[in-house]
Amino acid sequence: MTYPTHLNRRFFLQTSAAGAVAAATGLPAQAAGLRAVNFQLSWLHSVQFGGSYIAASKGYWSDLGLDVSLAQGGPNAPVEPPVVSGNALVGISAADYTAAAVSEGAPFRIIAVAMQKNPFAIASLAGNPVNTPSDLVGKKIGMAVANTPVLQALCTLNDIDINAIEIVPTQYDPAPLVSGQVDCLLCWETDLPVAMSVQGIDNTTMLMADHGYAVHSQTYIATEDALATRRDDLVALLKGEVMGWNDYLADTDAAAELTMEMFPDAGLDLSAQKLQAARQVPLMFSDLTAEYGFGWFTDETVAANIETLALLGREVSADLWDRSLLEEVHG
């Protein structure tokens, strides 16, 4: 299966220092009798998955009867195949990826949503900022051509003529922006802008989610069969995740430090990890999660996702999302 979105970010991370991480990691079972669970992450190890690392290190999952192995993803380790084959109980994906897989027959359900706001952003330098979609008119934007549907969706949602924006094909790197080759970049809020900030480059971001682009990201997916036959394990996994991410929210610096401790050979930078950890908070926690709990989604947020996914050429129904596990987790 080929997924057009997010690919430029994946190649950036593949060629960064984080690419040196080993293919998978797991903590040894705390005690005999724990039920083995493989948890497939969506990308290379970093504080992006800090709450999961906390759940593992603090024994939240083992206390719930699980021995969880965290398998990192990457350009050669897509999330969907191990989940659909049953080799992983749960995977971290995104609504557009899952919709693409379901269109090809994968029996997935989205059972929780970590990122309440999609991390796609338009990054620009502080001296020439893009603060609203209308600011894109007349600008040169650096991006992968494969992500044109993402930009088109943003333009459609905000009545902007995409032809008034000059698309410049670029690698996933801040250099074209810093050098003045382009006026802005299509990227994730938590990577290229963080890299520039760590280097002392004053930049700003316009989060696309603040302008109608509603696509759930860092979503938890499981198969219909898993929901029917391993429901208790799914509930226990999500309970551990909730506890881990609540701890993350309480101390993002500690989550970054734990990430560095767990993956000392990953080539990660502590200052960058701390900044990324902090910048993930408004993406992952909201008034909705404050009221209902981590991972929550509503019929309204699902409806907004269906609308945006349609603009991306993905027709899905509300049945793709299943909130029953979260309702059990959060009581």
The residue-averaged pLDDT of 210-232 equals 98
Q: What is the pLDDT of residue 77?
A: 87
The residue-averaged pLDDT of 142-169 equals 97
Domain extent at residue 129: 120-211
Q: Which of 159, 188, 211 marks a domain boundary?
A: 211
Three-state SS at 167: strand
Please indicate, yes or no, if residue 1 is contained in any of the structural domains: no
Q: Which of 157, 181, 211 marks a domain boundary?
A: 211
How far apart CA 76 and CA 48 sit, in angstroms, is 19
Q: Where does the pLDDT of residue 75 fall: very low under 50, low under 70, confident under 90, or very high at 90 and above? A: confident
Q: Give Cβ neighbours of residue 330 (< 8 Å, ≥ 6 apart).
A: 242, 292, 293, 296
In terms of DSSP bridges, do strands 166-169 and 140-143 run parallel, antiparallel, or are they unpaired?
Answer: parallel
The residue-averaged pLDDT of 152-166 equals 98
How far apart CA 299 and CA 160 sit, in angstroms, is 28
Please indicate, yes or no, if residue 2 is contained in any of the structural domains: no
Same domain membership, residue 265 and residue 132: no
Q: Is residue 46 predicted with pLDDT exceeding 60? A: yes
Please indicate, yes or no, if residue 233 is contained in any of the structural domains: yes
Same domain membership, residue 156 and residue 128: yes
The residue-averaged pLDDT of 295-317 equals 97
The residue-averaged pLDDT of 63-72 equals 97
Please indicate, yes or no, if residue 289 is contained in any of the structural domains: yes
Same domain membership, residue 325 and residue 221: yes
Each as own residue / partner, the long-range contacts of residues 307-312 (CB below 8 Å, 24 or more positions apart, any chain) are: 307/214, 308/153, 308/157, 308/212, 308/213, 308/214, 308/215, 309/95, 309/96, 309/99, 309/215, 311/149, 311/152, 311/153, 311/156, 311/157, 312/5, 312/96, 312/149, 312/150, 312/153, 312/215
Q: Give Cβ neighbours of residue 55 (< 8 Å, ≥ 6 apart).
A: 61, 68, 240, 241, 243, 244
Please indicate, yes or no, if residue 301 is contained in any of the structural domains: yes
What percent of the chain lies above the pLDDT cut of 90? 88
Give the tens place of pLDDT for each residue, 264-274: 999 999 999 99
The residue-averaged pLDDT of 41-63 equals 97
What's the one-letter identity of residue 40? Answer: Q
167: CATH:
3.40.190.10
Q: Compute the half-sphere exposure of residue 319: CA atoms within 13 Å on the CB side of its CA.
A: 7
Same domain membership, residue 291 and residue 204: no
Number of helices (H) and strands (E) in the chain: give both, helices first.
Answer: 15, 11
Q: Which of 211, 242, 266 marks a domain boundary?
A: 211
Q: What is the pLDDT of residue 259?
A: 98
Please indicate, yes or no, if residue 283 is contained in any of the structural domains: yes
Give the tens place of pLDDT for each residue, 106-131: 999 999 999 999 999 999 999 999 99
Give the tens place of pLDDT for each residue, 2-40: 233 443 443 343 333 333 333 344 444 445 689 999 999
Same domain membership, residue 53 and residue 148: no
Same domain membership, residue 305 and residue 198: no
Q: With CA atoms as reference, report the closest residue to 125 among 170, 189, 178.
A: 178
How far apart CA 294 and CA 249 sit, in angstroms, is 10
Same domain membership, residue 269 and residue 202: no
Same domain membership, residue 186 and residue 86: no
Q: What is the pLDDT of residue 251?
A: 98
Q: With CA atoms as reference, report the closest residue to 219 among 315, 103, 317, 90.
A: 90
Same domain membership, residue 93 and residue 138: no
Please indicate, yes or no, if residue 22 is contained in any of the structural domains: yes
Three-state SS at 277: helix
Same domain membership, residue 170 and residue 100: no
Same domain membership, residue 315 and residue 233: yes
From the number of C-beta atoms within 10 Å of its C-beta (0-12, 13-18, 19+), residue 228 rates as exposed
How far apart CA 326 and CA 25 sit, in angstroms, is 26
The residue-averaged pLDDT of 288-296 equals 97
Please indicate, yes or no, if residue 38 is contained in any of the structural domains: yes
Show the DSSP H helices in 158-298 as ranges. Answer: 175-178, 192-198, 224-229, 231-250, 252-262, 270-284, 287-292
Same domain membership, residue 149 and residue 128: yes
Number of structural domains (the chain) is: 2
How far apart CA 14 and CA 119 sit, in angstroms, is 18
Q: Which two tokens stand for residue 330?
A: 């959060």
Q: Give Cβ neighbours of residue 276 (< 8 Å, ≥ 6 apart).
A: 46, 47, 48, 190, 191, 194, 256
CA 256 to chain CA centroid, Å, is: 17
CB 223 within 8 A of CB 109: yes
The residue-averaged pLDDT of 297-303 equals 98
